[in-house]
Amino acid sequence: MLEGYLEIKPEVKEALKEGKAIVGLESTIISHGMPYPRNVETALSVERIVRENGAVPATIAILQGKLKVGLTKEEIQYLGKAENVVKTSRRDIPFIVAKKLDGATTVASTMIIAALAGVKVFATGGIGGVHRGAQQTFDISADLQELAHTNVAVVCAGAKSILDIGLTLEYLETQGVPVVGFGTNDFPAFYTRRSGYKVDYRVDSAEELAAALKAKWDLSLRGGIVVANPVPEQYEMDYNTITEAINQAVKEADEKGIKGKESTPFLLAKVKEITGGESLESNIALVYNNAMVAAQLAAALAKLEE
């Protein structure tokens, strides 16, 4: 049934067949999350870090309507430069496929495609969530529903405070999605190691995390898990600087009436503009750190399933 839709890179296919560790990687972060050429450099370095930590990288995107699991270097370069790549979440997938367009996948759609291929671990920067003011706007990322239903572990650096982090955690609790701190009791806020909120559980090793994941899925407790891995200390941003930048970005989005799928890319671009290069450096560092932890988790999970 998936034939004709799904295209798995030979290296990834081989790893799947042999039960080797694989890490899925999203592509909206390449097309809409970082400027060229740093986006391409980062995506390629992330793949290298995954390999160095014992797993096979599989960057996920939709190219000319095909769901791709694993991209070549040339395909990553193309995605990083092309201007007509559509930000693709769950509801966009059928149309990007039918129209044979290029789509960069969000956390939600990367999870969907990873699960179709049998990839269980995925690394990104930050997840989408409940936006500030969602009481009025209803702006809640489809990422959260996907985490509720799709069996993929998502390693991230928490959520940016462009979101209402408290409401995002409440939503995840209602949907039964575990939020786990990797070496921390604090839920990180992307650029900073703390958000003022705690995680449900703390784990201190990839093995401990793999055991919990295996138990979850063995028991048919469907859905994902948020692995919150804080930005390394030396790349953490100053709390006041980033808070002011985000407040200004949220205010501008509000004044301009930005909504729907434009909301998150607008806020990300604004924050970057206001903080200059500083936020980009911290963004890149935390993605590398997530790729490393995801690879270790995928390796530990593969070992448990031998």
Q: What is the amino acid identity at position 96?
A: I
Of the candidates 21, 28, 179, 213, which one interacts with ligand PSU according to CB under 6 A? 28
Q: Closer CB to Mn ion, residue 94 or residue 260?
A: 260
Catalytic residue, chosen from 68, 87, 120, 160, is 160
Active site residue 160: yes
Task: Write the binding mask 171 to 190 for ligand PSU: x where contact by CB under 6 A, - elsewhere.
Answer: -------------------x
Q: Does 125 bind ligand PSU (CB under 6 A)?
A: yes
- Going 231 to 234 to 237 to 238, the CA torsion angle's sign is positive
Which member of 26, 47, 146, 236 is catalytic? 26
26 catalytic? Reply is yes
Does 26 bind ligand PSU (CB under 6 A)? Our answer is yes
Asked whether position 139 contacts Mn ion by CB under 5 A, the answer is yes
One symbol per residue from 204 to 233: x for binding ligand PSU (CB under 6 A), - otherwise; what is it? ------------------------------
CB of 167 to ligand PSU, least distance (A): 13
- Minimum distance from CB of 61 to Mn ion (Å)? 20
Residue 270 touches which member of Mn ion, ligand PSU, none, C-beta under 5-8 Å by kind: none
Residue 260 Cβ vs Mn ion, minimum distance, rounded to whole Å: 6
**89: contact with ligand PSU by CB under 6 A:** yes
Residues that bind ligand PSU (CB under 6 A): 26, 28-29, 33, 89, 106-107, 125-126, 128, 141-143, 160, 190, 261, 264, 268
Residues that bind Mn ion (CB under 5 A): 139
